[in-house]
Amino acid sequence: MHASQYHINTLKEAPTEAEVASHQLMTRAGMIRRAAGGIYTYMPMGLKVLRKIEAIIRDEMNKAGAIELLMPVVQPAELWLESGRWEQYGDELLRIKDRHQRDFVLQPTSEEVITDIARNEIHSWRQLPINFYHIQTKFRDERRPRFGLMRGREFTMKDAYSFDRDAESAQASYDNMYQAYMSIFKRLGLEFRAVAADTGSIGGSRSHEFQVIADTGEDLIVYNPDSEYAANIELADAPCLYDERAPATSDLTKVATPQASKCELVAQLLDRPLTDTVKSVVLATDTEEDGQTHTQIWLLLVRGDHEVNDIKVSKLDGFEQGHRLATEAEIIETFGCQPGFLGPINTAKPVQVIADLSVAYMSDFICGANEAGFHYSGVNWGRDLPEPIQADLRNVVDGDPAPNGGQLRIQRGIEVGHVFFLGDTYSKKLQATFLDANGKPALMQMGCYGIGVSRISAAAIEQNHDDKGIIWPRAIAPFEVVICPIGYQKSDAVRQQADQLYAQLQAQGVDVILDDRDIRPGNMFADWELIGVPVRITIGDRGLKDGIIEIQTRRAHDSSKVAVDQGATFTLDLLQTL
């Protein structure tokens, strides 16, 4: 490829709405152009990146035995009604009508269509296991699309669906996909973690996210640097921080804490560590019974330096139907006190108390006194109040002890892949059955496996960029090598060397571009630093006098002066290291 025959159009400024590096840099590098909110055209170099990502995914999926097909973007409402998601799925599901006023959706995912295919195509256990996937345009009508390709509306996703005869076989299919994903992300050249994740509303029983590590990620990942352990903070078990409960040493004392409505202020006021305080969080659950709504108020206690984990709360006994923050009226009625000074002692009405595992082992602690401007100190379980129900209620924090020794660390990640064990959630709804070895109908056991193809391109940039631009991993760079001749139009020597090296690298299968544009070297270099091609080769008359060309890596800016006739070999060796 010669640059003059390609379309390169870099911008000095990013659009004002671009808040994150990937959005700014992909726009400035000319890789994407906005068509509407959350909808982009992939310009030539952006598409090249996308296709390289797709090719790696396809190759590993095929190696893992998955079979590619292509389901439509526009899907009939009937199947979504059958699964119940026509109603359940929120406004992100774009529902449309055709000219005959028939209902359709723009697919955000394809569980319904693939389950329909499976129930029509698969009749016998002999056809199982099977795993179908497609790489297709998806649409999710985000309320506030932003961050460019990180949270777009129209995007490319690879989604795979496995069908098995029983749970054991389905687990093997799941493990197979897990391994395929490990291979995919390794080949993409990204720093990532596979983390245990919550299964959320999909309702399966097992799930892992594949997270690209990046400071700008929206997800918090808990991991143990000394082991394989990694989990989304939503799911990561938070241990009890005390081996045993220390004996009580203080008396229960009511202390004035005017204006100190937060643990930090109380600790400061009383000159005690924050870890001696207990935070009160009041939640309510509503259950319908005989047409009446019964509301239960719950007091959840976590240590002052900890945060309540909403996903864990949602799994508590009694929270199956959902929960919410209690209203101020409910709080005043239950505690006889406004928020800010609440606690488990002397409530106006009986309240269900659940203490985090750590809180349950604290002694001589401080909590609200249910009286505005007052807290109790020297609070002890069993003596001052009954033993609590215990549960893991909190987010892990950096430094928490890890399950198998060592300390847990937290880092940020961008979710780019997700594997789910679905069980029979969809096969039951759509009655996807097969005849088992005994000739009896049985529900297929399913798994689903997604990768955000276009999101990976953005995540790669969030992880790999500097103030000059993008630093693509070699495997997904729009070009692996750029040859920058200084004076291609003017110097025969430069042109001949550039053309020769270009031909040599091409013959070796290197994805190389020769920048034959008649522009100033500074602009040329700036373009390729912005675009982020891993290796740049500069050929100029000055170097050629000494038989030398310059080869530089984008990431480290390592620069080597290399003999002209060694240029191709040196570049090939260098690429192996990137």
Binding site for a copy of itself (CB under 8 A): 5-7, 9, 33, 35-36, 39-44, 46-47, 50, 65, 67-76, 91-92, 94, 96, 98-99, 102, 104, 106, 113, 116-117, 120-121, 127, 130, 132, 137, 139, 141, 143, 153-154
Query: What angle do helix axes 21-28 and 453-463 make, rounded to 10 degrees?
Result: 100
Report d(CA 26, CA 42) in Å as an integer.
Answer: 10
Q: In whole angstroms, how close is the CB of 233 to a copy of itself at the nearest point? A: 29
Residue 129 structure tokens: 């296991």
β-sheet bridge partners, residue 418: 209, 450
β-sheet bridge partners, residue 302: 279
Which of residues 132 and 174 has its CB atom nearest to a copy of itself in the complex?
132
Q: In whole angstroms, how close is the CB of 53 to a copy of itself at the nearest point? A: 13
Which of residues 135 and 316 has its CB atom nearest to a copy of itself in the complex?
135
Which of residues 130 and 544 has its CB atom nearest to a copy of itself in the complex?
130
Which of residues 112 and 356 has its CB atom nearest to a copy of itself in the complex?
112
Residue 411 and residue 213 in contact, taking contact as beta carbons nearer than 8 Å:
yes
Which of residues 143 and 545 has its CB atom nearest to a copy of itself in the complex?
143
Q: Using alpha carbons, list the distances in angstroms from residue 259 to 252, 264, 301, 426, 559.
A: 21, 12, 21, 53, 61
3-state secondary structure 412-475: EEEEEEEEEEEECHHHHHCCCEEECCCCCEEECEEEEEEEEHHHHHHHHHHHCEECCEECCCHH
Q: In whole angstroms, how close is the CB of 33 to a copy of itself at the nearest point? A: 6
Which of residues 325 and 437 has its CB atom nearest to a copy of itself in the complex?
437
Q: In whole angstroms, how close is the CB of 272 to a copy of itself at the nearest point? A: 49
Q: In whole angstroms, how close is the CB of 122 to a copy of itself at the nearest point? A: 9
Which of residues 102 and 520 has its CB atom nearest to a copy of itself in the complex?
102
Report d(CA 574, CA 277) in Å as an integer.
Answer: 57
3-state secondary structure 14-59: CCCCCCCHHHHHHHHCCCEEEEECCEEEECHHHHHHHHHHHHHHHH
Q: Using alpha carbons, list the distances in angstroms from residue 331 to 297, 298, 394.
A: 8, 10, 22
Sorted by sequence, the CB contacts under 8 Å of residue 542 that are 6+ apart come out as 486
Which of residues 130 and 182 has its CB atom nearest to a copy of itself in the complex?
130
Which of residues 44 and 340 has its CB atom nearest to a copy of itself in the complex?
44
Write phi, then psi, for 494 (nearest 5 degrees).
-60, -45
Q: In whole angstroms, how close is the CB of 134 to a copy of itself at the nearest point? A: 8
Report d(CA 476, CA 47) in Å as an integer.
Answer: 11
Q: In whole angstroms, how close is the CB of 44 to a copy of itself at the nearest point? A: 5
Instruction: Please state whether the peptide bond connecting residue 129 to the residue before it is cis, i.e. omega within 30 degrees of 0.
Output: yes
Q: In whole angstroms, how close is the CB of 304 to a copy of itself at the nearest point? A: 40
Q: In whole angstroms, how close is the CB of 186 to a copy of itself at the nearest point? A: 24
Which of residues 74 and 563 has its CB atom nearest to a copy of itself in the complex?
74
Residue 248 and residue 380 in contact, taking contact as beta carbons nearer than 8 Å:
yes
Q: In whole angstroms, how close is the CB of 120 to a copy of itself at the nearest point? A: 7
